[in-house]
Structure 1
Amino acid sequence: MALAWAGAGLHVQAQESAVPEATAGQEAALMADGLPALKLKSSSLLQETYPQEVRDQQPIYIKGDSLAGQPDINASVHGEAELRRGDTMIRADKLDYALPDDKVNAVGSVYINQAGNIYKGTALDLQVDAFKGQFDNADYRFLANGAYGDSSRVDFIDKDHSVVHNATYTTCQRDDEASWQPSWMLKAETIELDMAEEVGVAHNAKLQFKGVTVLPVPRMSFPLSDKRKSGLLPPMIGMDKLGGIEYSQPYYWNIAPNRDLTVTPTVMTKRGVNLTGLFRYMEPSYSGETYASYMPGDNLRSRDRWGYSWQHRAVIDSPVGGLGLNLNLNRVSDDDYWRDFRLAPVAMRQRLLPSTASLSWAKGDGALSLNMTRYQTLQDPDALIAPPYSMVPQLQYRYTPQELPHGLDFSLVADTTRFELIRPLTGQAVNNGQRSYVQAQLSRPFLSPGAFITPKLMLHTSRYDTDSMMSNGSKSANRTLPTFSLDSGLVFERDTSWFGKKLLQTFEPRAFYTYTPYRDQSMLPLYDTGRSDFNFSSIFSENDYVGQDRIADNHLVTLGATSRFIDPESGAEKLKLAIAQRVRLSDQRVLLPGEVAATSKLSDILLGAAINWTDKWSLEGTTQYNKDLGRTVRTTATARYSPGNYRTFNIGYRTQLDTVTKKPSSELVDVGWQWPINDLWGDKGKDLGAGRGQGGGRWYAVGRLNYSIKDRQMVDTVVGLEYDGCCWIGRVVLQRLQSSVTQSNLQLLFQMEFVGFSRLSFGADPTASLKRNVPRYQYLREAVSPPSRFTNYD
């Protein structure tokens, strides 16, 4: 039998909330280890809410084996009794419902599904619409994270709030064994549940792991999902050579969906107390993050230590065009900061700290920018580096028309910059001044399916006004240089097959000619110029130098060829072979200070190969061969084998020959891996997909070794083990990272992750270290979208 009451006959059908998605740029996380992404709009599913006048008109459905009562007054249902209203469904052996009080009494095997959250117990007394009442001997399971537990009683305050008495809580999933016990469990006298904020608060609680209490606390707050919440984050306890024993206690303040603040005080037994703060913000037209750190009286260096980093990005649409403001400010207290604070943001862990400010305007084919750049150079007495010039300021205009007649391509750059070197290295040549230049280029590509030819004409004119006299006794200089280049190539194709696989093979010869006349530039200062790396990109370029202070007087031809083997069905490149060499038609006379002019008409030969025969493995390498020495002077090679998720092995080799001593100046081997150890005894696990692991009871080896063959020692070492216990993950990582020529830092990192609950760490977050150091490392648990409330819909 079935019966339905509806106050005004209005039937309300629940449906999914439609939440507008933010753009990819707006959704992007502001990078910070262990912190969630800021969002302009929540991407989680919102529970459907109705005005009270609408809820009052929602119909109530009742059914069962037998039904008795009076319409609009009461109903008594026996045998598979069921009551529904909106997103609430109640089943029981016997159910009594009083309409005037909107109250249900149920006994027997009572079952509640409230918006996907499941409760099971023996006796229920509940006001249905207000969802207020009491449930005895209740078990529960939450939709958001799959957590469950049992209790002596659940007091429902309303649809979003309840209090669970004598409660347990865990995310460990049951198996079929009668003796099974969850690996971890939270036991508490009471747990207050706030489903709107997705937060639980346990009183007189203890966290047990394998039946042993590991964390007794009088009160603790924990998340019921991966939703951001204010409160104390799990503490971090660590130990290293510099700081001794370290204890960090982060506090996270979820100010708004698009703003948050993390404050972390750290106590170091050898050094003192350090306080850091990270503030992040995101608005429709601007975003950024600010990091600051302060340590008074660091015992390691006998001084106060501080550092800050601020990144700000803003874009504003205006009637006169797009306006942009970008700030990247970085400063620290001293030269040793980069090696003493290895957990600082990446921008503060380098020896050359840039501080830049840029104001830009763009409209149509033109863009104008005003830039300021200053550097803080952190010196190491064992490895000094020459500080670069600051740009204070730089004004630059770029014009690149998109549609020109007759297939022409044109671009123009006009730039004027003031260069200053404030704190030069002892003996470093300094000549502050103003450099202005205009560079224009015009080309006309001629393209066909089997050939291309691109003539290009470039004109570069510049002026220097310096504070001190240049080597020729003048404080000013002008330089105008034309450059002509001609790039050409052919493409031949044929069908072939290798190992029974049909392939399309190409043969692509290429010839590149360039000519720039000689102008004496030896008197000009060097503000931002250096020699280009010799590779397959630079060998087909007009200038040997990066920057504007030297334009090489090149008169040369570059000859090369590439052959590819392509899968004709997918278009994937299975094999690529390449070779290139320069032929000098005249000697180059423009050189950097200390450079020696090449005496050979033929350059070194570049050889390259890349193999991607299957998705599982790849091999790539380049080598530079010097015919005068009769040997290679530089080689790089990398190989990767990745047969599936959480199975990857990478190895790289790099060597550089000192052409004077004929001995390697550097020779490194780099190995990285992540692999299930269970494979050794034939347990291949399950492929549950990226971010879900490969099933419980799995051990993973992970690490990276960087070894210097020349020095016969390890440079960087990161080795660790991970264990996936299904509802918990254990990690231990030992890392030794080189911070200078003579100094390294050794750390032991340990972490227990109770999936869907919390993490306990000893040392810095090992997952951040693994992600940063191990190529293609995958988290055993990635954040996933919360399930729909219709997942557990009855």
Structure 2
Amino acid sequence: MSRPQRPPLPLALLTLALWQAQGAFAQEAAWIDAPLQLRRTPQLVETIPTTERGLRPSFVDGDRISGRPDLETVVEGNASLRRGDTVIRADRLEYYQPDDLAKAQGNVRVNQGGNVYEGPELQLKVETFEGFFNNVRYQFLETGGNGNADRIDFVDANISVARHATYTTCRREDYPGWVPAWLLTAATLTTDTEESVGIATDARLSFMGVSSPALPSISFPLNNQRKSGLLPPVFGMDSVNGIELQMPYYWNIAPNRDATLTPTVMTKRGINLGSEFRYLENTYSGVLRADYMPSDQLRDRDRWGLWTTHNQTFDPKPFGLDGLAGTLRINRVSDNDYWRDFSRTPTLSSRLLDSEASLNWAKGDWYGQVRALSYQTLQYSLSPITPPYDRMPQLTANNIQYDWNGFDVSTSLDYTRFKADSQYAPLLNGRRQPDGERAFGILQVSRPWITPGTFVIPKVQLHATSYQFDGPLANGSNSASRTVPTFSIDSGMVFERDTSLFGRSFRQTLEPRLFYVRTPYRDQSQLPLYDTAANDFNFATIYTENAFSGNDRISDSNVLTGGVSTRLIDPDTGAEAARFGVAQRFRFSDQRVTLPGVSPVTDRLSDILVGAQINWTSKWTADTTVQYNPDSRRSERSTITARYNPGPYRTINAAYRYQADSSTLANDGNKSIDIGWQWPLNDLWGDKGKNLGPGRGEGGGRWYAVGRMNYSLKDSKLTDGVIGVEYDGCCWIGRVVLERLSTGQVSAATRIMFQIEFVGFAAVGASPLKTLSQNIQRYQPLRQPGETPSRFTNYD
């Protein structure tokens, strides 16, 4: 296969790739943004003493064998010597037993636990693996790395030193003039398989004919284990921060602890110092991350961020509990603009940063939680948000009894103190809501009657709530209470029949369902709203008793919900090929309990929900939900999603979303299209590639298009976008990705990520793989670390 020509790589990139003097890269997974896996401290492992290893038998074979007993053995023609995991093959082999010395000439091949060495002449002490090999070609099992050397000196079974050596992970082709795409040359190349590290002196890296300057010493991994040292440098361009250069240092403290220090230079801002510490023990684990930027040039102030998570289990368990576990989570940043300025921090996912300390307990049929929860709200003048209330503290207890004399009984108890910044506390009846305490209990008793084809489940609920406020309400009261009963009955039937559609046999179901709720009216207009909002209208909430989430409002209801669904089920596998459903709610009386500023519902018939989910084959998936208003004869909300995934590295996801504008009858609500993809461009000219297995790509010389576009049809603009290409060159991978993220109504951040990964060796540039994985459903990296190959995969 001819090697395609590519533009030369700038010399600076090769220099950065080699800039690892006096340190070893962390495992290859770090280069592709896969998490380094911590391991608990290993147990002691019994090893075989050297004297016992020396007793392992040797086996020789060949066309002609001669020699003297207990002195020497000479094998000529197809000669081989095998001991343990070491095999020596040659045209001629001499073995001297007193010195345990093997001398081999002519087409010599040594296989040591899957690592292969080939050349014309070998001298080796077999048991200690001491000796030398002249004019040798070698290949390592774990990385696929290979190369040539004038001579290799074997120090022992783990350490070898190659003189005037080369190293690459490109595959050798048997035709004249083959040149690997990238090649490391070194005066000496020392490999230590026990430490899984290679060290090269006077080293140069060449790529596509461009060579880097020589460096005195560099190190690189021989497998996927974690190693202390400098990680590959990361550089990129960002419209907010300018040109960025990171030089991470990884410290492998222990199998269950590690740390990463990441200084970052931003041309428009200054220097950011990042750090991350991770730990893993039998009863606790966690991550601590801190960033600090002194004197940000754009904001003219110091910037910092702190993110930490600690998980703890207690053993032995105190107080006679069956289980006790704790969590501590801290998320805090220096200012409101942090989420817009530093897009690669955990802050970007939310402008509400929660910090929480909690204890979860269990005792018999009871379980609960004690926690304190506080929020930092990152306000933005163009898009302000109302922060939720802090819970300082919250205590819960829950109990569930199934089939207690035929009844299911559950109890929920909760005490919470709510606290908020008075500046952002929501208005209630024209004044700010006061902070306060709320205690409530919910008792539920149901009696299910279930048969193979029917179910009837009547249920009675009792909600009791008590409030104490720090200040008076609009009516002057400092306390309030509420008790609300609810009765509901859920019923349905399941019919089945065998059918055939489009040449396939199915078991089709027809499942009608009726759900009735009766809750009397209680005046709750004076009660604050600490954690309550209206439920979304969908198939999950239309069959629930309360129209609100949270516990500050219990809706008055005299409502009957009717619906029917049908499913197509593969009778052989039980897989659901399709599901269709429709549901509508009928209201017998007007709604009276509402949220502030929201008009009560007076329509007797609700909107109609229509939904479909189709998984006809493993390649195609479609899901759609439509909320249709029969009075206005228009859709209030529609969502259509589809995914085509015919094979590895091939996926297309598309979604259309529509939300009607309630202020007008015109059909001009919010509309958006969201499309994401990963697809081999070679498919366009008929090259379908090869299935080389998970995490190995589809062969060299293949281009892949990747991206995601979220486009607002109402505003006629791109809100968020990721677009790029990947190229798989077998032993190297190139990636270029452009990302645009909206950080406000009129602002956006744009950055370009460019990376070259030398497979099994190093990577330079800003990795876009985390961005691609977050934005593209079912995105597959072209390389993923797999299990360490067994020596039997290269068995002689």
What TM-score, normalized to structure 2? Answer: 0.93
- Measure how far apart 1:66 and its partner are: 3.0
1:450-469 equivalences in 2 (<5 Å)? 450-469=453-472
Distance (whole Å) between structure 2 residues aligned to residue 204 and residue 693 of structure 1: 33
1:175-324 equivalences in 2 (<5 Å)? 175-214=173-212, 216-317=214-315, 318=317, 319-324=320-325
1:418-437 equivalences in 2 (<5 Å)? 418-422=417-421, 424-425=423-424, 428=427, 429-437=432-440
State the Cα deviation string for residues 440-464 of structure 1 (Å, max 9, x = none). 1011211111111110111110100
1:526-675 equivalences in 2 (<5 Å)? 526-663=529-666, 664-675=668-679
Verify the 8 A CA contact 1:309 1:348 in the aligned structure 2.
no
Q: Give the secondary-structure state (helix, strand or coil) at the position aligned to 1:338.
A: helix
Match of 1:789 in 2: 791
Verify the 8 A CA contact 1:692 1:780 in the aligned structure 2.
yes
Distance (whole Å) between structure 2 residues aligned to residue 680 and residue 431 of structure 1: 64
State the Cα deviation string for residues 499-555 of structure 1 (Å, max 9, x = none). 222222211111000011111111111111111111001111000101010000111
Verify the 8 A CA contact 1:247 1:268 in the aligned structure 2.
yes
Distance (whole Å) between structure 1 residues aligned to residue 42 and residue 717 of structure 2: 50
Change (3 A) 1:31 1:77: closer
Match of 1:7 in 2: none
Match of 2:732 in 1: 728
- Measure how far apart 1:65 and its partner are: 3.0
What amino acid does structure 2 have at the position aligned with 1:37?
Q
1:10-49 equivalences in 2 (<5 Å)? 33-40=33-40
Verify the 8 A CA contact 2:118 2:136 in the aligned structure 1.
yes
Distance (whole Å) between structure 2 residues aligned to residue 700 and residue 439 of structure 1: 55
Return 572-581 or 713-722, whichever deviates more: 572-581
Match of 1:87 in 2: 85
Match of 2:24 in 1: none
- Measure how far apart 1:176 and its partner are: 4.0
Whether 1:678 aligns to 2:679 is no
Change (3 A) 1:315 1:227: same
Change (3 A) 1:427 1:98: closer
1:32-111 equivalences in 2 (<5 Å)? 33-40=33-40, 50-111=48-109
Return 530-539 or 65-74, whichever deviates more: 65-74
Return 595-604 or 567-576, whichever deviates more: 567-576
Q: Give the secondary-structure state (helix, strand or coil) at the position aligned to 1:53.
A: helix
State the Cα deviation string for residues 91-142 of structure 1 (Å, max 9, x = none). 2222222222222222222221111111112222222221112111111111
Distance (whole Å) between structure 2 residues aligned to residue 97 and residue 604 of structure 1: 89
Change (3 A) 1:42 1:533: farther
Change (3 A) 1:690 1:69: closer
Q: Give the secondary-structure state (helix, strand or coil) at the position aligned to 1:694.
A: coil
Distance (whole Å) between structure 2 residues aligned to residue 403 and residue 32 of structure 1: 51
What amino acid does structure 1 have at the position aligned with 2:352?
L
Change (3 A) 1:596 1:91: same
Segments of structure 2 that go 5 or more residues without pairing to the other structure are: 1-28
| Aligned CA-pair RMSD | 2.0
Distance (whole Å) between structure 1 residues aligned to residue 615 and residue 412 of structure 2: 40
- Measure how far apart 1:47 and its partner are: 12
What amino acid does structure 2 have at the position aligned with 1:536?
F
Match of 2:505 in 1: 502
What amino acid does structure 2 have at the position aligned with 1:756?
G
Distance (whole Å) between structure 1 residues aligned to residue 296 and residue 488 of structure 2: 59
Distance (whole Å) between structure 2 residues aligned to residue 673 and residue 343 of structure 1: 22
State the Cα deviation string for residues 664-723 of structure 1 (Å, max 9, x = none). 342110001111111111111112233221111111111000000000000011001011
Whether 1:487 aligns to 2:498 is no
Match of 1:22 in 2: none
Match of 1:767 in 2: 769
Verify the 8 A CA contact 1:673 1:703 in the aligned structure 2.
yes
Distance (whole Å) between structure 2 residues aligned to residue 61 and residue 676 of structure 1: 50
1:690-769 equivalences in 2 (<5 Å)? 690-761=694-765, 763=766, 765-769=767-771
What amino acid does structure 2 have at the position aligned with 1:570?
T
Match of 2:691 in 1: 687
Match of 2:329 in 1: 328
Whether 1:158 aligns to 2:156 is yes
Match of 1:20 in 2: none
What amino acid does structure 1 have at the position aligned with 2:178?
W
Change (3 A) 1:754 1:521: same
- Measure how far apart 1:30 and its partner are: 13
Report how many residues are paired. 760
Match of 2:374 in 1: 374
Q: Give the secondary-structure state (helix, strand or coil) at the position aligned to 1:678.
A: helix
Match of 2:142 in 1: 144
Match of 1:362 in 2: 362
- Measure how far apart 1:790 and its partner are: 2.1
- Measure how far apart 1:39 and its partner are: 2.5
Distance (whole Å) between structure 2 residues aligned to residue 605 and residue 260 of structure 1: 55
What amino acid does structure 2 have at the position aligned with 1:474?
S
- Measure how far apart 1:488 and its partner are: 0.5
Distance (whole Å) between structure 2 residues aligned to residue 333 and residue 595 of structure 1: 36
Distance (whole Å) between structure 1 residues aligned to residue 45 and residue 373 of structure 2: 49
What amino acid does structure 2 have at the position aligned with 1:620?
D
Segments of structure 1 that go 5 or more residues without pairing to the other structure are: 1-28
What amino acid does structure 2 have at the position aligned with 1:424?
Q
Match of 1:521 in 2: 524
Verify the 8 A CA contact 2:672 2:712 in the aligned structure 1.
yes
Fraction of identical pairs, as percent: 52
